[in-house]
């Protein structure tokens, strides 16, 4: 039997059901792995060993008593630190929330606990999910397990690196502009941004409420489907939650794995490949298209003429919403409180001193940008125009999905870059999300599936579907994964360097 930490969540769940492995053993193996490698990776901000083992013991006892459990019961999971966890410190990667212990669980955490998945800890991230490299964390950067001198993507680099380094079989991420899919691409993991409103946002520390969406980070497409079904579905505590039931995602993944895509119409987005994309990434992308074609898919090119404006619209809408959402960190309600060193102590001076010390540069940059975009004299010119572009992008998607079933592109324009390479160049950093942002602006779902290596570093294949058709991501993603693994003879992630 391969080491327990190398198993997919589905394979581990089967061994838990058959009694070959207990949840306590599985959880302890992952805690040991974290102890062995996280000094090099820094994927975790908090490790909750005692609570994880307590959950594992409870699940083992209930299984022994013959109780019917959730299919993933007993399988450990890591949670991005932007998701609130009762009695477990939650910082969103920010100094302003250092020491904040939430009094409640996010809905997705509540569902994870009810299903009995031991929570291993909280994962590192760019402060308030602003970034593409996890270098904007107030708690040090995370390293990419494929090359420790490189970034693991962001903002959810901790979740992606934890899964890629076999520290956790499953993790939760959040994606406002690409923070699940781009880290997935550069770490060789699977990441899914579900349809907006299909996974509850209750208990996510908001960055941009109209764009934020939580989703799965895993090593296989089927594992993402299993986790997505667990966390998704209607939540009355989220006013934007979709009332409809989720489509059957696990069934779609299993169907995809049979490698039959006869009649499926796949559109390659003209605007999302070519200039600005690394040659090796484009080569892997073209090879993946050949595999889809060989499984019966019809590949055409589809133009989405407004996609080139998506990044500009995003960097007005997102900071505008963030500037409002982050106003609540005032030194009085949560976490850090700093009093001014001189002068009167008033609400305003405490707020200024706390925010001055508590927020990092990238967060301040976006608050200033967002406040400016929303100011009376500029609102129509900036925020208003960006919202019009957002509508045009939604129409591009509607027109495209009238012609094809799914759209595809490389997930990220390049493989993982070196630490510090783009830290002083915000615009270069923002460009990592050119291919992922349109889906956030439209509220539509997307997946990144690892599709090969370029000079030893992973690249990702992005599949986009219409809203509420997340099942298509799993069907096509599982088919591509199966075809690639048949070619390679093993999963891509098996090639990740030994870290000990």
Active site residues: 80, 155, 179
3-state DSSP assignment of residue 210: coil
Residues 166 to 205: which contact ligand GLN by CB under 6 A? 175-179
CB of 388 to ligand GLN, least distance (A): 21
Among 155, 241, 325, 414, binds ligand GLN (CB under 6 A): 155
Angstrom distance (rounded) from CA 451 to CA 412:
12
Residue 213 binds ligand GLN, judged by CB under 6 A? no
Asked if 454 and 412 touch (Cβ cutoff 8 Å), the reply is: no
Angstrom distance (rounded) from CA 111 to CA 107:
6
Q: Please, which residue, 137 or 288, has the CB nearer to ligand GLN?
A: 137
Angstrom distance (rounded) from CA 170 to CA 150:
22
Q: Please, which residue, 21 or 180, has the CB nearer to ligand GLN?
A: 180
Q: Please, which residue, 172 or 207, has the CB nearer to ligand GLN?
A: 207
3-state DSSP assignment of residue 165: coil
How does DSSP assign 258-287, residue by residue? T---TT-EEEEEGGGSSTTS-HHHHHHHHH
CB of 207 to ligand GLN, least distance (A): 6
User: Could you identify the residue written with the tokens 């212990």?
Assistant: 101
CB of 221 to ligand GLN, least distance (A): 21
Q: Please, which residue, 124 or 288, has the CB nearer to ligand GLN?
A: 124
From residue 425 to residue 464, the character string flagging contacts with ligand GLN as x (rule: CB under 6 A) and all else as - is: --------x-------------------------------
CB of 211 to ligand GLN, least distance (A): 8
From residue 127 to residue 146, the character string flagging contacts with ligand GLN as x (rule: CB under 6 A) and all else as - is: --xxxx--------------
CB of 433 to ligand GLN, least distance (A): 5
Query: Which contacts qualify for 14-19: CB closer than 8 Å, 24 or more apart?
Result: 16/63, 16/73, 16/74, 16/75, 17/63
Kindly state the number of chain residues that form the binding site for ligand GLN, as judged by CB under 6 A.
Answer: 13
- Nearest of 81, 191, 178 to residue 132 by alpha carbon: 178
3-state DSSP assignment of residue 449: strand
Query: Residue 435 has what DSSP assignment?
Result: T
3-state DSSP assignment of residue 199: strand
Q: How many CA atoms lie within 13 A of 105 on its CB side?
A: 11
From residue 251 to residue 280, the character string flagging contacts with ligand GLN as x (rule: CB under 6 A) and all else as - is: ------------------------------
Q: Please, which residue, 7 or 130, has the CB nearer to ligand GLN?
A: 130
Using CB under 6 A, list all residues that contact ligand GLN.
129-132, 155, 175-179, 207, 318, 433
């Amino acid at each position: 039997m391969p080491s327990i930490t190398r198993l997919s969540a589905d394979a581990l769940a089967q061994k838990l059901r058959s009694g070959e492995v207990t949840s306590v053993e599985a959880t302890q193996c992952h805690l040991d792995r974290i102890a062995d490698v996280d000094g090099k990776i820094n994927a975790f901000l908090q490790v909750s060993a005692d609570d994880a083992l307590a959950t594992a013991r409870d699940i083992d006892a209930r299984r022994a008593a013959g109780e019917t459990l959730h299919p993933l019961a007993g399988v450990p999971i890591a949670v991005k630190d932007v998701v609130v966890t009762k009695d477990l410190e939650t910082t969103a990667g920010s100094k302003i929330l250092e020491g904040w212990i939430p009094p409640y669980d996010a809905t997705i955490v509540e569902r994870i606990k009810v299903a009995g998945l031991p929570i291993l800890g909280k994962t590192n991230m760019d402060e308030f999910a602003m970034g593409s490299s996890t270098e904007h964390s107030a708690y040090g950067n995370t390293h990419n397990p494929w090359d420790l001198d490189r970034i693991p993507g962001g903002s959810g680099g901790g979740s992606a690196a934890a899964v890629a380094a076999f520290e956790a079989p499953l993790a939760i991420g959040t994606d406002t502009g690409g923070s699940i899919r781009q880290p997935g691409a550069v770490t060789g993991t699977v990441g899914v941004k579900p349809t907006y409103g299909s996974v509850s946002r209750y208990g996510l520390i908001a960055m941009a409420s109209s764009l934020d969406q939580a989703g799965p980070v895993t090593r296989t497409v089927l594992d993402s489907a299993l986790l997505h079904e667990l966390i998704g579905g209607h939540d009355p505590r989220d006013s934007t939650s979709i009332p409809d039931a989720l489509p059957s995602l696990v069934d779609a993944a299993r169907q995809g794995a049979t490698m039959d895509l006869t009649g499926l119409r796949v559109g390659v987005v003209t605007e999302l490949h070519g200039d600005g994309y690394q040659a090796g990434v484009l080569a892997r992308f073209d090879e993946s298209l050949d595999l889809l074609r060989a499984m019966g898919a019809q590949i055409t090119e589809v133009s989405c003429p407004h996609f080139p404006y998506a990044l500009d619209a995003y960097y007005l809408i997102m900071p505008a919403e963030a500037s409002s959402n982050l106003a609540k960190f005032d030194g009085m309600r949560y976490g850090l409180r700093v009093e001014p060193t001189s002068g009167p102590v008033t609400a305003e001076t405490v707020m200024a001193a706390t925010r001055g010390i508590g927020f990092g540069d990238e967060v301040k940059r976006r608050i200033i940008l967002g406040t400016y975009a929303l100011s009376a004299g500029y609102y129509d010119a900036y925020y208003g125009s960006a919202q019009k572009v957002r509508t045009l992008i939604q129409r591009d998607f509607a027109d495209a999905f009238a012609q094809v079933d799914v759209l595809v592109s490389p997930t990220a324009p390049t493989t993982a870059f070196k630490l510090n390479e783009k830290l002083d160049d915000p615009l270069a950093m923002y460009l990592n999300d050119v291919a992922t942002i349109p889906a956030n602006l439209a509220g539509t779902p997307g997946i990144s599936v690892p599709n090969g290596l370029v000079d030893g570093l992973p690249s990702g294949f992005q599949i986009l579907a219409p809203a509420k058709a997340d099942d298509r991501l799993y069907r096509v993603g599982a088919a591509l994964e199966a075809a690639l693994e048949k070619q390679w003879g093993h999963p891509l992630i098996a090639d990740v360097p030994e870290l000990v």
